[in-house]
Structure 1
Amino acid sequence: MVMTYSPQGKHLIAGEWIATDAKFTSSPAHGPVHEFSSGNVDLVDRAVKAAEEAFWTYGAASRQDRAAFLDAIADEIEARADAITEIGAQETGLPAARLQGERGRTTGQLRLFAQHVRDGEYLDRRHDKALPDRQPLPRPDLRLIQRPIGPVAVFGASNFPLAFSTAGGDTASALAAGCPVVVKGHPAHPGTGEIIAEAIFAAITRTGVPAGVFSFIHGDSHEVGKALVEHPLIKAVGFTGSLRGGRALYDLCAARPEPIPFFGELGSINPVFVLPAALAARGKQIAEGWTASLTMGAGQFCTNPGMLVISEEGADEFTATASAALKEAAEQVMLTDGIAHAYRDGTDRIAGAARPVLANDSRGRNALPNIYQTSAADFMANHALGEEVFGPLGLVVTVSGEDQMLELARSLEGQLTVTLQMDEPDTPTARRLMPILERKAGRVLANGWPTGVEVADAMVHGGPYPASTNFGATSVGTMAIRRFLRPVSYQNMPAALLPDDLRD
């Protein structure tokens, strides 16, 4: 294949492409290796200071201008479509169709936020008119609106090189809110990150927004990330990644002299509860649907349904069907060598505490599916069984009856999703489960599979800790913009001093 895109290997700092002496090389699944400049503390400082300076203009820009900028980014990404697919496939091993779909999701959410900004409902404008004659005290004129918070740091995700990375949901929602963004690119796909940064820079040039509104720093060490979250001008952080890495950054945010919000999406085992009537009526269909969702994309989705809860009666037939569906599964390339290594470690951890149903030996950067089984009592007694294994591994947990199923549900940690596989006769049991499941997850599904997160107004992609670090937020959907806004109330303010969007 002829290479159509060759990365510069540089950082984009407020409109300037900058190289550094320190270098690192990419580790592609296939194709050429490229050299990239390593980020440092000085570049972080320059980028964040430029973002702060740009905020005074961009934060006060009209909604129409911000929407036009978001649309321009989407246009520039589409203009580079083939090159993005090529470098993305080389770096990650993901198939072209997956990357094309993810690119469409990325541009789609940029355009969705553009329209959301134009509509203006997110501003939550409120007006309590003055009551000068009210007794015993008059009421002042009060007006409220949501205002952008300032520069935001975004960490690119390893498993979504487009939709959750350089121009992904965190960046799109922060820019929509009026907040400049500094992105730390993920070293797993530095070329993909860089070509998207080029698209954003082209949109900056085309629309005339301040260059400091967006910077992109290659990062192959913890130094850059630490400097970014600790910089005093950064006002919030968006992150998608591991529990361990996210918790470390969360703690840094909390330890700052001025603590700031850390919006981390950290992972989940996404339990699926198969209720008795559904199991009896369509157990084979459910087993096949579960294994298809479990192995999609080599299981490298944060919504991968890694745990399935089922009654002891019928468990053997169910697991036999699931195992049969996976026995001829082909190896899949994982995103990085590190992720593949972590998958093998996670498999070993589960294998030491649960009975194998289908055990495969994964080697190198490739992954094969695994299924293990344990009882509810053993699951609740061993915290390690409830920890995420990032990859195509499923754990079947058997319960002795409805009461134990509810007990197990109460024992779960926070999740991104929980799913009910149910038929009409299961409704009484499902009603008992619902108050528990609502407390455990940000999204509750019926008769579907959690892989696939619709970008829409009513979507919640988040949940109680450790699924995410802020249970009141979402990283997907238009409500994600709220993370980067804060309410400001204006009392008896002359109209000339009010924000344009708050005037009568």
Structure 2
Amino acid sequence: MSNAPLLQGLSLIGYDHGSPGDSRFQASNPATGELLPQHFHAAHPSELDRAVVLAQQAAPAYAALGGSLHGAFLRGIAERLEALADELAELVPQETGLPEARVRGELARTTGQLRLFAQLAEQGDWVDARLDSAQAQRLPQPRPELRSMLQPLGPVAVFGASNFPLAFSVAGGDTASALAAGCPVVVKAHPAHPATSERVGLAIIEAARALDLPEGVFSLLFDAGISVGQALVKHPGIQAVGFTGSLRAGRALMDAAAARPHPIPVYAEMGSSNPVVVLPQSLSRHAESIADGLAASVTLGNGQFCTCPGLVLAVEGEGYQRLRDRLTLQLAKVQAAPMLSAAIAGSFHDALATRARQEGVVQLLCNTPGPHRTGPALLETDAARVLVQPALTHEVFGPVTVLVRCANPAELMQVLHSLDGQLTATLHAEATELAAWPGLPALLASKAGRVLFGGYPTGVEVCHAMVHGGPYPAASDSRSTSVGAAALLRFARPVCYQNWPDELLPAALQAANPLGLMRMVDGQYRRDGG
């Protein structure tokens, strides 16, 4: 499985490579700024169309294969990626500047989530089968027999993310959850790590071929710009979109999808400032340890996680001063490192400079030793300034956090009320002081998809209960998650069958329950026939 063919820099259209073209690009090493030697060719419009048409043709057959083969496919991808571990550990750092240990850890997360979705597909309970028996004698009108379940939407467009070249990219969570739901996937590779994308894409094709899956169950498209991505979202064969990235790019995809003659859902995770609230008693008792934890969280991955705590709210006083001084000290100790790409580094420095120039903002720390290395930054302002300049609370993607000094609890609550939707919100408090903050837990829950008590928001566990999403603009749809078992529900829709002969129903809805699913039968959950 590790003897994959050499990279060609061409899109993967079903089981074939695309063709060379005039529009080509190279990735660069963010640690040195040097261009990497491999050229990659942007997908032709005809290749994009071919990829989507193949996905449309494959969709019914792939869906009909059922959870057992869907699971085998995902497990096959995981096995092939593990066989490529040494190659990826050498390749990924060249395109991202990430250290080998991070790459190996992210690979483990990627294969772990592939196997999680494989298990969900094989078990099959996620289809939420519901059966209501006919009531022929019911008055004033009889009730028909009704049976419903979730079924795959069809071809899904997935956009590779910049900050997770494995776990949120070609074989990442969006791809894994869509494949588990029975949907073919067309991936738009991120231009910052195209070689990584091609290597992973080839592994997926190998896994599909090994199971003789219909051609078109997976394709991979290259492009250095936005034209291929926009065209992919607008293609009438695409039925849903998975995206992780900036608010600007995510909103553009949402608008393009909404403008189609037949609009489709875009499940976009677009980041947030992830506020951390420290109440007075906790601040007084634990200022130093909280500062230490914040410093580690802000600089984890050089701040290039969508859950980086970019906003810290606390009431001024002796504890606040200790927090500020300790956080400044700890961040100053962190060595600068490459950011994922020159574009990300440039956006970070521009956004940081804009905020530092704002009236009422103090730059306590800024460590940028050279053009290819970026260190942490720390800004400070007060609640009154934030309330008149809400842009100060918006995400800056990178290793920076903003301390917001509040004059009193009322000001802190005002700032929280003013915040946009968030992926996470964290509360550090003593249990005994919460009585003096009525409504605070509910307010935090109304703002974020994941609410932490203590701890720090970086680190998104892949499991059944995880929610990685939140109210707009953290995500495009607060009812969904891009991480965790529930992520595959984004790529399915409910279908109800009324008065169908049992033998013509999908197996999940047949009376004998041949798949052994947990089903709701006349309002009661059971695994036996019904």
Please tell me the TM-score bracket, short chain as reference.
over 0.9
What SS does structure 1 have at the residue aligned with 2:216? helix
Question: Does the 8 Å contact 1:9/1:19 carry over to 2?
Answer: no
CA separation in 2, counterparts of 1:289 and 1:56?
49
Larger displacement relative to structure 2 (312-321 or 126-135): 312-321
Partner in structure 2 of residue 420 of structure 1: 427
Question: Does the 8 Å contact 1:188/1:336 carry over to 2?
Answer: yes
Structure 2 counterpart of 1:380, one-letter code = L
- Shift of the alpha carbon at 1:318? 1.3
Partner in structure 2 of residue 355 of structure 1: 362
Partner in structure 2 of residue 181 of structure 1: 185
- Shift of the alpha carbon at 1:407? 1.4
1:460 aligned to which of 464, 467, 474: 467
Structure 2 counterpart of 1:360, one-letter code = N
- 2:236 matches 1:232: yes
Partner in structure 1 of residue 25 of structure 2: 24
Partner in structure 2 of residue 196 of structure 1: 200
Partner in structure 2 of residue 261 of structure 1: 265
- 2:127 matches 1:126: no
CA separation in 1, counterparts of 2:165 and 2:362?
35
- Pairwise CA RMSD: 1.3
- Shift of the alpha carbon at 1:428? 1.8
- Shift of the alpha carbon at 1:359? 2.8
- 2:38 matches 1:34: yes
Give the alignment of 1:371-386 within 5 angstroms.
Answer: 371-386=378-393
Normalised to the residue count of structure 1, the TM-score between the two structures is 0.97
- Shift of the alpha carbon at 1:249? 0.9
Question: Does the 8 Å contact 1:271/1:306 carry over to 2?
Answer: yes
Q: Deviations over 1:31-83 (max 9, x none)?
A: 84311111232111000000000002001212111111111111111111111
- 2:276 matches 1:272: yes
What SS does structure 2 have at the residue aligned with 1:298? helix
- Shift of the alpha carbon at 1:429? 4.4
- Shift of the alpha carbon at 1:6? 5.3
CA separation in 1, counterparts of 2:499 and 2:276?
53
CA separation in 2, counterparts of 1:254 and 1:240?
18
CA separation in 2, counterparts of 1:430 and 1:180?
49
Partner in structure 2 of residue 12 of structure 1: 12
- 2:223 matches 1:222: no
Structure 2 counterpart of 1:279, one-letter code = L
- Shift of the alpha carbon at 1:362? 5.3
Larger displacement relative to structure 2 (403-412 or 105-114): 403-412
Larger displacement relative to structure 2 (144-153 or 202-211): 202-211
CA separation in 1, counterparts of 2:440 and 2:467?
20
Q: Deviations over 1:325-379 (max 9, x none)?
A: 1223211110000000011001111101211111334542321111111111111
CA separation in 1, counterparts of 2:170 and 2:280?
44
Larger displacement relative to structure 2 (119-128 or 262-271): 119-128
CA separation in 2, counterparts of 1:373 and 1:15?
54
Question: Does the 8 Å contact 1:150/1:179 carry over to 2?
Answer: yes
2:349 aligned to which of 332, 344, 348: 344
- 2:449 matches 1:442: yes
Partner in structure 1 of residue 335 of structure 2: 330
- Shift of the alpha carbon at 1:399? 1.1
CA separation in 1, counterparts of 2:141 and 2:383?
61
Structure 2 counterpart of 1:403, one-letter code = A
**% identical equivalent positions:** 47
Question: Does the 8 Å contact 2:332/2:367 carry over to 1?
Answer: no
CA separation in 2, counterparts of 1:355 and 1:492?
69
- Shift of the alpha carbon at 1:433? 0.7
Question: Does the 8 Å contact 1:460/1:477 carry over to 2?
Answer: yes
What SS does structure 1 have at the residue aligned with 2:415? helix
- Shift of the alpha carbon at 1:316? 2.2
What SS does structure 2 have at the residue aligned with 1:187? coil
Task: Structure 2 unaligned segments of length 5 or more: list them.
Answer: 512-530
What SS does structure 2 have at the residue aligned with 1:194? helix
Larger displacement relative to structure 2 (419-428 or 9-18): 419-428
- Shift of the alpha carbon at 1:310? 0.8
- Shift of the alpha carbon at 1:287? 0.4
Give the alignment of 1:64-75 within 5 angstroms.
Answer: 64-75=68-79
Partner in structure 1 of residue 518 of structure 2: none
- Shift of the alpha carbon at 1:430? 5.4
- Shift of the alpha carbon at 1:120? 1.6
Normalised to the residue count of structure 2, the TM-score between the two structures is 0.93
Larger displacement relative to structure 2 (189-198 or 322-331): 322-331
Structure 1 stretches of at least 4 aligned residues deviating more than 6 Å after TM superposition: none
- 2:503 matches 1:496: yes
1:307 aligned to which of 307, 311, 330: 311
CA separation in 1, counterparts of 2:209 and 2:83?
15
What SS does structure 1 have at the residue aligned with 2:404? strand
Question: Does the 8 Å contact 2:348/2:398 carry over to 1?
Answer: yes
Question: Does the 8 Å contact 1:39/1:220 carry over to 2?
Answer: no
Structure 2 counterpart of 1:21, one-letter code = G
- Shift of the alpha carbon at 1:5? 8.9
- Shift of the alpha carbon at 1:324? 0.8
- Shift of the alpha carbon at 1:431? 4.9
